[in-house]
Structure 1
């Protein structure tokens, strides 16, 4: 999914959620969830768009109608140290595309 497609889907109200996934190396990629499919946001070269921060994402989407967003970060410490038993879920922090919040 490119920015044009994301904008068109957001205008139609079809974007259910955007997950901003934190990756090793200090950057993020965006996964866009629709009703029955998830797609990665791609750049002009059809490669996953590297996003530097939530502020960078807000700048990219400043002309796109708002939709729910969540920052997703894996709990690396628990995975490395084995501190807990059972499945370890990602940390999910909701945020808004509004620059004022």
Structure 2
């Protein structure tokens, strides 16, 4: 889904939240939750949008109406060691979509 479709879905109340998902290597990708399913947010040419910071994500989402935004980071230790997926070890923290700075 591109930014225009994301904005339209948010305006229609179809998106419950947007997640800023931490990726290996220090970048983040945006995922919108539409009808309980996580969908990556893509550029106009269809490529998944990667951002380098929370502030860059806010700039990308500047034209989108207010929506809950969460920073999501997996537990790297569990991923590296290969522990079984028992419970949810993902850190998930709500952050403001609009910066007060």
Aligned length: 100
Q: Following TM superposition, by how much is the alpha carbon of 1:11 offset from its aligned partner in structure 2, in angstroms? A: 1.5
Runs of 4 or more above 4 Å deviation: none
| Deviations, residues 28-85 of structure 1 (Å, cap 9, x unaligned) | 11110022432110112211111111111111111211111111111113444689xx
1:37-48 matched pairs, under 5 angstroms: 37-48=37-48
1:5 aligns with 2:5: yes
- Residue 52 of structure 1 is matched in structure 2 by 52
- Residue 30 of structure 1 is matched in structure 2 by 30
User: TM-score of the superposition, structure 1-length normalised?
Assistant: 0.84
CA RMSD of aligned residues (A): 2.2
Q: Following TM superposition, by how much is the alpha carbon of 1:98 offset from its aligned partner in structure 2, in angstroms? A: 1.1
